[in-house]
A and B are shown apart, each in its own frame.
Chain A
Amino acid sequence: MIVGFMILPLFPLPIFLLPAGVTQLRIFEQRYLTMIKNANKTDGFIIGYANNDDEISNWGSWVDIIDFDTGDDGMLNILVRCKKLVKVSQHKRQQDKLITVKATPLLHWPEINSNKRCIPLRTQLQQLFKQHDTLNKLYATPAFYRDDWVVARWLELLPVSFENKKLFVHPNSFISAVDFLTTVILEENNLIT
């Protein structure tokens, strides 16, 4: 599939955010404040993993800012939602050390609606939302009816290392993800003998 690429700023952070995933970020360095200011012009930015040696991961989450406020301490808090995963290549470090990357949208899972194995996962996620206000604040309109949405949110939440979560960036990984979640969340019978 041929898609054009974009030049976007990179916000270096090792968080796992799939499409429609929301998280809150706290912005205080000047270069990132400037980046946020320009986010409308640049059509969002990329959250991706980078270290100080300029090594950058080859994929990232392309996000839009959906809300912001100022915290008690006067710092800027923003809420971002991932619109697509992107392939990240070629990067430049500007004078203010802001990294810009060449980003090409990646396909992720298609919309999936009636996978029977996802029903218990959905129920569990709904319960989790009920118990944790933090989650409700992030998601004004949770899409529990979409299996891909439910599975993606579970993956973001699970206590599994970033390295391992990376495997679910692959567009064909949906079934593996369901297997994975089923093992972690539901598979009591196989373990308790």
Chain B
Amino acid sequence: MGQSIDSMLQNKAQHAKAISMEKEIEHKAIADWLTNVAQKRDKRAFTELFRFFAPKIQRIATSKYGNESLAAEVVQETMTNVWRKAHLFDASKGAPTTWVYTVMRNVSFDLLRKIKSKKEDNLSDDFWPLVESVEEDVKVFEDHLASKEMMACIDKLPDPQKSVVKGFYFMEMSQEQLAEHLDVPLGTIKSRLRLALARLKQHMGEIHD
């Protein structure tokens, strides 16, 4: 019995050794591909890297985030960065796989951070106070306007800039933006709008009555 356990262990050890040898060969190949990509912008080497890593990254990312399209984005971003940053890989500092997975980790953090900041902005109540004060149920609609994320970033700008850029949400300019465009003071825009509306209502009243 003892012997057979011994031999089993020995087999295991041999097996492990075989795996580690395979790994070494694999690492060598990956390191070569990375070097070729870095030095020669070798597209075939990059294809090999992609074939090797893409399904693995996709699998890991899917299991971590439970979202295939997000995972696909991680793959895309990671591989783009591998292509761009291949020259930063240093074989003496560690395995090439570790390097690629570090790139992947950084990409994931960036993406998650981006998503998180979007979410926080979505919750912000003062997002479009003007519209909310007019219609209570307008919140239901807000998300359908695609420029929202862009606006979320804009919301972080200092006030004067924000008001200028903020227009075009609801495809509408802000009063500040209009004033800027026409190169007149904001007060002038406000009084012109009031005047124009008063005239309009008077005129429309004549048509309809």
Contacts and interface: CB of A to CB of B under 8 A. Distances in A.
Contacts of B148: 26
B110 to A, nearest CB: 12
A92 interface: no
Contact of A158 (B69, B114, B131, B172): B172
Contacts of B175: 159
A146 to B, nearest CB: 19
A185 B193 CA distance: 9
Contacts of A183: 192, 195-196, 199
A172 B145 CA distance: 30
B171 A156 contact: yes
Interface residues on B, range: 35 or more
Interface residues of A, number: 54
B146 interface: yes
Given A73-B118, A131-B181, A159-B167, A164 B200 contact: yes
B184 to A, nearest CB: 7
A11 B143 CA distance: 13
Contact of B135 (A14, A16, A23, A32): A14
A39 to B, nearest CB: 15
Contact of B192 (A12, A127, A157, A184): A184
A16 B73 CA distance: 35
Contact of A185 (B67, B140, B182, B207): B182
Contacts, number: 124
A89 interface: no
- B interface, by DSSP: helix, strand, loop or mixed? helix
Contacts of B170: 15
Interface in A79-136: 124, 127-128, 131-132, 134-135
A42 interface: no
B134 to A, nearest CB: 6
Interface in A32-76: 32, 51-52, 71-74
B160 to A, nearest CB: 17
Given A14-B141, A17-B171, A156-B171, 9 more contacts: A15-B145, A26-B145, A52-B140, A158-B172, A159-B178, A179-B199, A180-B199, A191-B188, A191-B195
Interface of A: 11-17, 21, 23-28, 32, 51-52, 71-74, 77, 124, 127-128, 131-132, 134-135, 138, 156-164, 167, 170, 172-173, 176, 179-181, 183-185, 187-188, 191-192
